[in-house]
Amino acid sequence: MTTNSSSSPTTTSTDSGEKTAEIPIEIVSEEEMALIEAALAAAAMPASHLHRNSKSIRSFSLLSKRGLSACTSTGPPDIEDSGRACGSNSPSSQKNKRNRMLEPFLHRFRKGRGLSVTDLTGTEWCEKQTEFILLFGKPKKTKAMKAGSARHVVLEEEVIKRVKVQVESAEDVWALKFINFIVGTNQLLFDGLTRELPLVGFVEGVWMVGIIDEIRMPVSDSTRFPVLVDTKTRVRATLPGEPQKRNGRFQLMCYKYMWDTLVADKFPTRKFYDFFTLNPNHILSPEIRDNTAKSGFPSQTLSDVVRYFGNSCCSLPMAHDQLLLRYELQEDHSLLGEDEFTYDPDLVKVQIKSCLEFWLGKREASYPPMEELWKCKFCKFASVCPINSDPDDSPGKPKSEDIPSPDLTPK
């Protein structure tokens, strides 16, 4: 594996005298590298063997899209939600349990973690399904989901080389995210392309995290604005229906909203440290400090890295108003089609606020509209969902056999 530690692309000469660009580095921990290697192995594995591997295959970047650690993805309740409640029957513990149950989902399941963009898109797809996932755990990943995850690892490694780095604290983990942002945006400015770029921002009064699949910098425009791109993989050689396209558009618009907020506004460092319970003066691990020095922004503490991160944000332009969704066939990665659309700032703000009403406990979970109840056919919780209470004549049980399958690959 190539180990070029420079934050901006450099060139080397070949035997023929030609100059070639070296690919920038993204640094990850040992554990995360093991997950990446497992994902790549799964991508090369025959489809018949994929279901035998019960361990989730997730890269560091894909984990970040769901949350801030392996525990942040929408999944089974953590020990605070289950083990503690089962460990005592005292009146005080029962009272704490009741109070815990009354807490908004944002505070109960995302306290000190932040909402991921996938949390919002899952809510837009079906709030009741999101509620079931939070309370009872996420269903097992399908073969299609695993293949989609592995494909994104391959796409990333076409432009980013990963280097193992030992992390020792939460401050180290966050430092890595900021370092990868700095390296990725430098690559964007120099090469015109980067992938799997981590984002964190304070949006509509809530901390949000996400990772952009791909960012392109046009070379022909007089004013260069980064174009945000998201790639969806499809099992069938068909384009998705409008509800799935709408969900993908919402995801990309959330990324642009976060990007533009980082570029236009000063990063609220004090709020960031307080919310994620981080020590800005924490001394980073030796490997991280070594990598920052080689990358051109030597840092001893998390505060140092955050300062460089803020400077990088100030040097970036707003994202282009034209956003791009790409649809690939999983079988051979051929392009099925593209959906280019225009950013709608009012629409995305309204949609985010609507999702936050659910997460903040301001209202109960809603169901999809009548014309989209075909989604129930593909939901693992359909049999226990109140909307399907009548087994003989439920609007959530489609009769047609040719209803398109939604693309629910988590990212």
Q: Which of 86-95, 214-223, 231-240 has the highest mean pLDDT?
A: 231-240
Query: Is residue 55 predicted with pLDDT exceeding 90?
Result: no
Residue 311, H or E segment: helix 302-314
Residue 400: other Cβ atoms inside 10 A:
7
Query: Is residue 2 predicted with pLDDT exceeding 50?
Result: no
Helix axes 30-44, 143-157, angle to 10 degrees: 110
Q: How large is the average pLDDT for residues 137-144?
A: 73
Tell me how far apart the alpha carbons of residues 206 and 374 are, in angstroms, rounded to a whole number: 32
State in Å, rounded, how far the first CA of the chain is from the last one. 26
The pTM assigned to this predicted structure is: 0.71
Query: Is residue 160 predicted with pLDDT exceeding 50?
Result: yes
pLDDT in tens, 252-310: 999 999 999 999 999 999 999 999 999 999 999 999 999 999 999 999 999 999 999 99
Query: Is residue 161 predicted with pLDDT exceeding 80?
Result: no
Tell me how far apart the alpha carbons of residues 358 and 347 are, in angstroms, rounded to a whole number: 17
The pLDDT score that the predictor gives to residue 364 is 95
Q: Which token pair is 254? A: 């959330």
The pLDDT score that the predictor gives to residue 218 is 87
pLDDT in tens, 199-232: 999 999 999 999 999 999 987 766 789 999 999 9
Residue 50 pLDDT class (50, 70, 90 cuts): very low
Q: Which of 15-29, 138-152, 179-193 has the highest mean pLDDT?
A: 179-193
Please report, for residues 62, 180, 236, 295, the alpha-carbon distance to residue 161 in angstroms, rounded to integers and kept in the order given: 16, 11, 31, 14
Secondary structure letter of residue 73 according to DSSP:
S
Q: How large is the average pLDDT for residues 94-114?
A: 80
Q: Which token pair is 244? A: 């799935």
138 in helix, strand or coil?
coil
Q: How large is the average pLDDT for residues 358-384?
A: 94
Q: State the average pLDDT for the chain.
A: 77
The pLDDT score that the predictor gives to residue 346 is 97
The pLDDT score that the predictor gives to residue 347 is 97
Nearest Cα to Cα of residue 312 among 216, 211, 187: 187
The pLDDT score that the predictor gives to residue 391 is 47
The pLDDT score that the predictor gives to residue 220 is 74
Tell me how far apart the alpha carbons of residues 11 and 17 are, in angstroms, rounded to a whole number: 12
Percent of the chain clearing pLDDT 70 (strictly above): 64
Residue 196, H or E segment: strand 193-203
More confident residue, 170 or 138: 170
The pLDDT score that the predictor gives to residue 74 is 40
Q: How large is the average pLDDT for residues 375-382?
A: 93
More confident residue, 240 or 43: 240
The pLDDT score that the predictor gives to residue 97 is 57
Q: Which of 31-45, 55-69, 386-400 has the highest mean pLDDT?
A: 386-400
Query: Is residue 398 predicted with pLDDT exceeding 50?
Result: no
pLDDT in tens, 212-221: 999 999 877 6
The pLDDT score that the predictor gives to residue 406 is 39
Q: How large is the average pLDDT for residues 86-94?
A: 53
